[in-house]
Amino acid sequence: MFRNPRPSRRGFTLIELLVVIAIIAILIGLLLPAVQKVRQAAARTESSNNLHQIAIAAHAYHDSNQILPPYSSYSSGGTNAETGSWPFAVLPYVEGDAAYKSTAGPIMYSYSYTYDYGDGNPPQSYSYSSNYGGNGYQAQRAPKQRQKPFWSKLDPTVDLVESPASYFGNNYVLGSLSSYGTTTYKYGYALTKITDGTSNTLMFGEGYSRCGLNYNYDYGALYPGTYTPGSYYKYSYSYDRIWNYDPNNSSYSYKYAKNVSDYSKTPYTVQVDYTSAGTYYPIFSAYGTYDSTKGTYVTFEVTPKPGECSYSGLQATTPAGVLVAMCDGSVKTISPGVSLATWQALGTPNSGDIPGSDW
């Protein structure tokens, strides 16, 4: 019996295949920005929740100690003393009680630095440690790791820092504790002392856990006649703001690429180029951030490059503005257009200044 041959199947031509690939590529290109926006929005919501949790923890600390958590706790001995900064102090109030209690032990002091003069000689190092006597809880014994809720997915530097802190306390509001033997001195604000209003006063804000800046002063051009042409002063730093910072434990390094100074003749000759690195308190200055390129203070930095930001200020992680927690526990986004006067009024707790309406 005669049978019809099976009908042949037509495959894709090269042009049709390329068209399909191009359509898929266009769809992916359209979807990626939307996915990125969703992820950023989710990370921003999480960061806002972290700030709210930190603010609530600060209130809980206040209820137990009658002051807001200190940005610096320093001790030279005693019983049940504490050395660290505000994140360490609020650990028990953010489900970190076990981590806090694991740091109990003798109160220790340690200091180290390294100088490399860049002259071919071996770097000069110095270190010192001492047991002050007494026992307490010490941040330098805390686990060196990320600790919720002190780090943010929006912080582009968290992978560069061992114990990153992406949130910082207002140094105009957070005080200090100093223990000497059996005596403890408290310097800090109770909420009742914030007479400008807790809803009008900054307590915490977001930023980068690692910041660095480069200063370059051309002395020959700035001060002709006083310095010889070609005289300069260059300084670069990189500091990590960490949640387990301990005032009883500090380590710094300084490295000189060039260090020539001759003040024996006029005009002077100065050629200095060096870098420094270390750790710093997780705090910010509510007075503002000094911008060396402009020679003036700014409110906060908006999405700066990690290597071009100030460790003494806040960094907005999105162009929308900087996330902050007020002293009443509320979380807000402050616009990049806020004036320096309003920013400084928000930073002071009882100066009587009234913030403008531009925030």
Percent of the chain residues past pLDDT 70, beyond the cut: 94
Give a yes or no: residue 8 inside a domain. no
Residues 6+ apart with CB under 8 A from 46: 152, 153
Task: Tell me: pLDDT of 38 over 80.
Answer: no
Q: What's the pLDDT at 325?
A: 98
Give a yes or no: residue 144 inside a domain. yes
- Selected residue with higher pLDDT from 203 and 13: 203
Task: Tell me: pLDDT of 4 over 60.
Answer: no
Residue 39 confidence class, pLDDT cut points 50, 70, 90: confident
Give a yes or no: residue 21 inside a domain. no
Give a yes or no: residue 11 inside a domain. no
Q: What's the pLDDT at 62?
A: 96
Any idea which residue has 């930095």 for tokens?
Answer: 301
Task: Tell me: pLDDT of 333 over 70.
Answer: yes
Task: Tell me: pLDDT of 293 over 70.
Answer: no
CB-based contact 301:312 (threshold 8 Å)? no
Give a yes or no: residue 136 inside a domain. yes
> How many domains does one find in the chain?
1
CB-based contact 52:328 (threshold 8 Å)? no
Flag the least confident range among 210-214, 215-219, 294-298. Answer: 294-298
Task: Tell me: pLDDT of 60 over 90.
Answer: yes
Residue 77 confidence class, pLDDT cut points 50, 70, 90: confident
Residue 297 confidence class, pLDDT cut points 50, 70, 90: confident
Q: Which domain holds residue 278?
A: 50-347
Mean of the per-residue pLDDT values of the chain: 91
Residue 257 confidence class, pLDDT cut points 50, 70, 90: very high
Give a yes or no: residue 44 inside a domain. no
Flag the least confident range among 14-28, 77-91, 186-200, 231-245. Answer: 14-28
Give a yes or no: residue 140 inside a domain. yes
Nearest Cα residue to 268 out of 220, 321, 227: 227
Cα–Cα distances in Å, from 99 out to 42, 62, 78, 95, 145?
Answer: 28, 20, 21, 9, 11
Q: What's the pLDDT at 11?
A: 63
Q: What's the pLDDT at 8?
A: 56
Give a yes or no: residue 36 inside a domain. no
